[in-house]
Amino acid sequence: MSQPATVPSPGIPGYTYGTAAVPRAPITLEELELVKKTLLFSEEDAHWLRVSRDVLAPHVEELLDVWYGFVGSHPHLLHYFTRLSDGRPDTGYLEAVRKRFGQWVLDTAAANYDQAWLDYQIEIGRRHHRSGKNRTDGVASVEHVHYRYLPALIYPIVATLKPFLARKGHSAEEVEKMWEAWLKSVILQITLWSYPYVREGDF
């Protein structure tokens, strides 16, 4: 199966995937392969992720409405998008992140696990952690997303995705294959995003 090339989308502010602005990841592609192996992530999963790209692409905004609705309706999560000055949600920040989140859906479905992808995974982890949060959008918001919510959010993200995977008339079995591939990919990504949260030498 051929891997689609990484095409950074220049129109999205702060989206630096595939550019020289992203530092090299501190883990290797070989180590990434072993994490994928541990997750039972196969080429078949990569295939089903790529199938999901055309299914999801027309519905990304609606999917983001669901995910943003989830975060927005939970004050303990919305907290991480609030301004330090008055504790109110920073709508400009939410909007800026939303554009990159939409691109993330397409990037996840592209299933292209090369060096640029690995590097950007560590970058996304940093952007949740105090070592990188707020810098991309130049905002004065809460300084750090607490780690405990990162793995916990996997379930609502992946559970709410499922009905969207059925939007293009695939069989229940095919929808299940896409969904399992997404579940594995999101677990893989959150594992990589954990890097800055784990004590040096322990990852």
> What interhelical angle do 91-110 and 172-193 show, nearest 10?
120
Q: Which is nearer to ligand HEM, 87 or 201 (CB)?
A: 87
Between the CA of residue 110 and those of 51, 80, 201, what are the distances in Å?
9, 28, 31
Q: Which is nearer to ligand HEM, 24 or 74 (CB)?
A: 74
Residues 6+ apart with CB under 8 A from 141: 80, 81, 82, 83, 84, 90, 93, 133, 134
Q: Which is nearer to ligand HEM, 76 or 173 (CB)?
A: 76
Between the CA of residue 154 and those of 5, 21, 38, 148, what are the distances in Å?
27, 27, 18, 11
Q: Which of residues 126-145 bind ligand HEM (CB under 6 A)?
A: 127-128, 133-134, 136-137, 145
| Residue 179 near ligand HEM by CB under 6 A | no
Residue 99 CB, shortest distance to ligand HEM, in Å, is 9
Two structure tokens written together for 146 = 């607490």
Q: Which of residues 46-105 bind ligand HEM (CB under 6 A)?
A: 71, 77, 80-81, 97, 100-101, 104
Interface with ligand HEM by CB under 6 A: which residues?
14-15, 71, 77, 80-81, 97, 100-101, 104, 124, 127-128, 133-134, 136-137, 145, 149-150, 153-154, 157, 186, 190
